[in-house]
Amino acid sequence: MNDLVITSLLVGSLFLILGSGVWIGLTLSGVAWIGIQVFSARAAGDAMAVTIWGSSSGWTLTALPLFIWMGEILFRTRLSQDMFKGLAPWMQALPGRLLHTNVVGCAIFAAVSGSSAATCATIGKMTLPELKRRGYPEDMTIGTLAGAGTLGLLIPPSIIMIVYGVAADVSISDLFIAGVIPGILLAALFSGYIAIWALRHPDKIPPRDAPMRFMAKLKESSSLIPVVLLIVAVLGSIYAGFATATEAAAVGVAGALVLSTLQGSMNWPTFNQALMGATRLYCMIALILSGAAFLTLAMGYIGLPRHLAEWISGLGLSQFWLIMALMVFFIVLGCFLDGISVVVLTMGVLMPTVQKAGIDPVWFGIFVVLVVEMAQITPPVGFNLFVLQGMTGRELPYIARVSMPMFFLMVAAILLIYFVPGIVTWLPQHMKL
């Protein structure tokens, strides 16, 4: 049968089953079963059992539930709530003043979370009421928070990087190291936009608080010390070569438990909620990964990845236009699927093409994370939009509209890392573990 017909049937089946409300992981497994059963001579049941067990029993994947658990612990304790108090005194002199707490707070929490939605919700919980009380414009408050929340995916440790590393067989430690400079770059772009906007609209920014002495600022910022120590422990152990990503995740969980206990915000109900929240989220991700692994196997048997790679290669696209085409492809796909599903669905198909085009798989991983970040603030399936809708009560179209400047700044970040690839590759090359 013609490859185009087979592809159309499988894609049609995928969206038909998804549209009926079946879980994504089960949908992927179902479509893979149809593909092998109808278009291949391999026994579908045997292939499903072997593939799902193999994909879910790898040691590399152990880092994922641990980082999720660490983020859940911090989300439910006072560590995150103290962050605004510690950041606010240092933001007063900047154009845009306390609007920068959205960006800096998200960047700090991203370094101990790994989840975009958790970062957005945690920082929003502390900044939205305070900025509203002080009279900061709602559109800038919500828009910058929506964009900065996506830093949870780019600044390591990142759940999506772990998923990409497993799906594309790329070193997770290298991905974590590669994400540091692009993460700082994107945060700088967001803060730069806030500063320029504030200089153009000085009447919309409330007056600064009373000046504080340097020592008073340091005293206010003492609440940041526990979070900074946790970041140093987790990321420092990876970058110094003392621990793998999985071992560093265990250090992070232990550190989060110790800090929250010493702080007095850890009790049995909080511990139970954090553990069960992490379990539920990881089970969802593991089911998606297993289904995607089976679908990747099915597509391999049918030959779709090879044919797609040959078709794209036959178009004669330069490396730049291939990246631009993939950016549009991921953005469109991200309008309908969550980021993890986008990654696991596409890597098996796209990696042969990417490697044939001579694109560094670590660089491509950071590119994928950036375009998945865009999907977090694009309707109709933008997780950060849903989080902010629940927190603010505003309509989804309004939140999407005020987030658009952040979307275009992410496009600018992709162009920057394409034309200056060293932004991504320099640190991993000089910090080989």
Return mean pLDDT, the chain. 80
Alpha carbons 358 and 356: distance in angstroms, whole number? 5
pLDDT at 433: 47
pLDDT at 99: 87
In the chain, the number of structural domains is: 1
- Helices 422-430 and 396-419: angle between axes, nearest 10 degrees: 60
**Side chain identity at residue 95, one-letter code:** P
Length of the chain equals 433
User: Which CA distances in Å does 110 have to 32, 62, 185, 289, 309?
Assistant: 35, 19, 14, 23, 35
User: Which CA distances in Å does 231 have to 56, 243, 323?
Assistant: 28, 14, 32
Residues of the chain scoring pLDDT < 50: 433
Residue with tokens 């304790």: 77
Alpha carbons 8 and 65: distance in angstroms, whole number? 35
pLDDT at 71: 74
pLDDT at 411: 93
* C-alpha closest to that of 131 among 71, 91, 93: 91
* C-alpha closest to that of 103 among 209, 198, 192: 192
Record the pTM.
0.75
- Residue 219, domain extent: 3-430
Task: State percent of the chain over pLDDT 90.
Answer: 14
